[in-house]
Amino acid sequence: MASVWANLVDRVLRPEQPRFASCDEAGRAHSALVRARTDERAHALADCERRIETARANVFASGDGVVGAQMTTLEREWRVLHRRAATDDGALRDLWSQIAPPAWIDHPRYRDSEPALQLRAAVALASDPEGVERAEAAVASLAAALAPWDARAAHWGRRPRWRAAAMPAIEDSVVDIHASVLAMLGQSLAQNDAAPIVFARAFALRRLVLRAARRRKIVTRGRSLARELAHVAFLDLAWGAAEALGARAYDGTPVAAYPNPVAPLMELWSTGYLLCALGEDHTVLGVRISG
């Protein structure tokens, strides 16, 4: 089990992204195109403003106070140019349709990232279709596995939002999502003679995973991911022991009859992505970006 967790720690925050080179190249071309369009709009806006000032000066010079049709036309042109400069012209959506799998076209997963990070989010997510879909499936499985122990889990299986960040943040809503499972395991194992050995081994695994995660300098904002990994490792060993020992849940059903609530989170972490937030109306997954 220790080797399984050592391998998992090495995968955390390191998605495969097998299509990164081609997606990144397309993203760079997109950036160059946007810069060119931005410069073109800026020049057009500046030229329009110069013509407006000239027309305005002519109105004042005439002394009759009459504002001709030319001024109205110029002001309308300025409003159109300013609106185009201030809004998304659809270029990023065009890039998404170019680099994302066809089935993703109508679901721009980059949209929930901050505007300044949406381009890099689009590139990162389109670079790893299989990993992204595995991560989303893992969240659905996690919700199903936790549903018997936590009524809130019914909301967590919905299609998650994705947020890109150089340092993903783990919000308080993710803290202790397995607390009810751990409480059940503690009670179900309490009367078993093997319980002291089980928990001693679980604590040993927890320490090992915590050291490994800290050596790898896994950095996130908010809750420590290193402690989160170690906590779930403890639960993983305890759950496996409860299954092997025939332990029973509160209602007398064998623990082994329930889906493993640890496996989906381990599956998610193995994709290189993070569970960052949970709520009644959304689940947030994090993708780390660089540069």
DSSP H or E segment with residue 5: helix 2-11
pLDDT tens, 189-233? 988 899 999 999 999 999 999 999 999 988 788 778 999 999 999
CA 91 to chain centre: 22
Per-residue pLDDT of the chain (291 residues), as tens digits, is 789 999 999 999 999 999 999 999 999 999 998 888 777 787 888 888 888 888 888 777 776 666 667 777 878 878 887 776 555 557 899 999 999 999 999 999 999 999 999 999 999 999 999 999 999 999 999 999 999 998 888 777 677 999 999 988 888 888 888 999 999 999 999 888 999 999 999 999 999 999 999 999 887 887 789 999 999 999 999 999 999 999 999 999 999 999 999 999 999 999 999 999 988 778 999 999 875
What's the pLDDT at 142? 93
> Which residue has 């409003």 as its token pair?
79
Detail the DSSP E strand segments found in 104-204: 161-165, 169-170
Phi, psi for 115 (deg, rounded to 5): -50, -40
Separation CA 255–CA 244 (nearest Å): 9
Spatial distance between the Cα atoms of 210 and 192, rounded to a whole number of angstroms: 27
DSSP letter (8 states) at residue 207: H
Q: Do 120 and 289 form a contact (C-beta atoms < 8 A)?
A: yes
Q: What are phi and psi of 167, to 5 degrees?
A: -135, 90
What gap in Å lies between CA 268 and CA 157, rounded to an integer?
Answer: 13
Structure tokens given for 173: 């809503």
124 vs 287: CA distance, rounded Å: 8
Q: For residue 120, count CB atoms less than 10 angstroms from its CB and return exposed for 0-12, middle for 13-18, buried for 19 or more.
A: buried
